[in-house]
Amino acid sequence: MPKEKIVVVDDDEYMREGLVETLDSPEFSVVSFDNAAAALDEISDGSASILLTDLRMPEMDGMELLAQVKRLDPKLPVVMMTAFATIETAVEAMKKGAFDYIMKPFKAEEIDVVVTKALEYRRLVAENEYLRKELGKKFSLSDFIGDCAEMKGLFEKIRQIAPSTATVFIRGESGTGKELVARAIHSQSPRRDKPMVRVNCAALSAGVLESELFGHERGAFTGADKRRIGRFEMADGGTIFLDEVSEMDLALQGKLLRVLQEKEFERVGSSETISANVRILASSNRDMEKAIEEGSFRQDLYYRLNVVNVELIPLRRRKGDIRALVKHFIEKYNREEGSRVKGISDEALAMLENYDWPGNVRELENIIERAIVLGTGERIETGNISAGLEKVPGRPQEKGAATFEPRPLEDVEREHVMLMLSYNQDHRQQTAQALGISERSLRDRLNRWREAGLIE
């Protein structure tokens, strides 16, 4: 975890060295300067967490430095230090954007309190900015492309469940648009003006995920150098989306179950109980019944999450929507790339419609984007898309076909995983993402097959 950078400016060498010594700790990186201009250069790259500056200095004084800093980084907390403090100077500094001021001489405990408050302010500003961005992401049913009966049924279900407070479990293969559904539910709900906070449960280890969900207190564990507000607190009044919740550690599943039942939790390292009014949406690309049977997911938690179930169909079962999806993606990437692709040839469209899309809509979007970026003509031709389609394992044999051979599901899964590993040149992170599973799940599979002598 990177240290918080504290910039100190004071033309008094004794005061400067004393502050550096006082603030020096594993939590902070302290840099000091005897003039404001040098400090301004240090701050210009945006890496500073807090500025402590003397008020009276030659050439550029603290007030002028404050004004310059506010133009460079308005969110940077600036603490003024002065031996000549009056109510008037304090008021003037605060009006110009100073976070606080402190009178010289001060004790180590006083500067520690001011710095802690300033860093907490910096963190809250960053979290508020994140939440504002989330609120700005407006999703609606118009973001969905599809005219088949299954998609029309999905639209109607979203309209029905959005106004409620019910927990929703969204199931579907990787790339089918589970997050898009979650955002549509939130944006159609009475909570639309509150944040929707997403947590990717597959991307974080159990310890990190617990802190991410519930927050932690300073000193709760190694590296916890300040209090952190968890995603449940950030989502208070709004919605939290637990993406790929099936990858969550079993112990953490128990804590999540309590949140669902009691609507309360504690930060890591704290005994204070916190309540949060949060609607929970969750998703998974796994066979949940199999996960429960194998003991990797709690049955009682699944029942709590699965109050309302939304099942997303894979693209191979809605191929009639491919033409509309291609048109949508061409228009999207023409805007983003400044291209002028007018459409797709009948031959190229037929190739797309005859493919089975293991990566679903996300894979189709990637192929159209690549065709537009690398293409030179006014239309997408077969040559623009064939390479991308050939590299991914294609259509499985249909049951009843002449070459059909009954095989255990484990063998089919292993073969597909090994093919994807080969395609991604043994890059495990990319392979796990393409398969829609966590790196941990991929590693467990490979270890199990290796121990059984099924792979080298």
Q: Which domains does the chain have, with CATH numbers?
A: 4-132 (3.40.50.2300), 137-311 (3.40.50.300), 315-390 (1.10.8.60), 409-451 (1.10.10)
CA dist 389 and 372 (Å) reads: 15
Q: Which structure tokens are listed for 12?
A: 């008094």
- Cβ partners under 8 Å of residue 34, min gap 6: 9, 10, 11, 13, 16
Q: Which structure tokens are listed for 64?
A: 């002028």
With tokens 């393409």, the residue in question is 434
Alpha-helical regions (H) of 338-408: 346-353, 360-374, 382-390
CB atoms within 10 A of CB 317: 11
CA dist 177 and 170 (Å) reads: 10
- Cβ partners under 8 Å of residue 354, min gap 6: none
Could you tell me where the beta strands, DSSP code E, fall in 131-238?
168-171, 196-200, 215-216, 228-229
Alpha-helical regions (H) of 173-310: 178-187, 206-214, 231-234, 250-262, 288-294, 299-305
- Residue 266, classed as helix, strand or coil, is strand
CB atoms within 10 A of CB 297: 22
Strand partners, 50: 6
CB atoms within 10 A of CB 33: 18
User: CB burial class (10 A; 0-12, 13-18, 19+) of residue 272?
Assistant: exposed
User: CB burial class (10 A; 0-12, 13-18, 19+) of residue 239?
Assistant: buried
Name the pTM for this structure: 0.59
Question: Nearest Cα to 98, choosing from 120, 70, 69, 78?
Answer: 78
Identify the pLDDT of residue 202.
86
> For 148-176, b where at least 16 C-beta lie within 10 A, e where not — what string?
eeebeebeebbeebbeeeebbbbbbbbbb
Strand partners, 275: 264
Identify the pLDDT of residue 402.
39
Would you give the DSSP letter of residue 25? Answer: B
Q: Which value, to the nearest 10 degrees, does the dihedral of the CA atoms of residues 358, 364, 365, 366 take?
A: 70
pLDDT 10s digit of each residue in the chain, 456 long? 457 889 999 988 888 888 888 888 877 888 999 898 888 888 887 778 899 998 888 888 888 999 988 888 888 999 988 876 566 776 788 888 888 888 888 888 888 888 888 888 887 777 666 665 655 555 555 567 887 888 888 989 999 999 999 999 999 998 898 999 999 999 889 998 888 999 999 888 888 899 999 988 888 887 777 778 889 988 889 999 999 999 999 999 999 999 999 989 999 988 888 888 999 999 999 999 999 999 999 999 999 999 999 999 999 999 999 999 999 999 989 988 888 899 999 999 999 999 989 889 999 999 999 899 888 888 999 888 887 675 444 444 344 333 445 567 777 788 888 888 777 767 777 787 778 788 788 888 888 887 777 776
Q: Which value, to the nearest 10 degrees, does the dihedral of the CA atoms of residues 28, 31, 34, 36 take?
A: -90
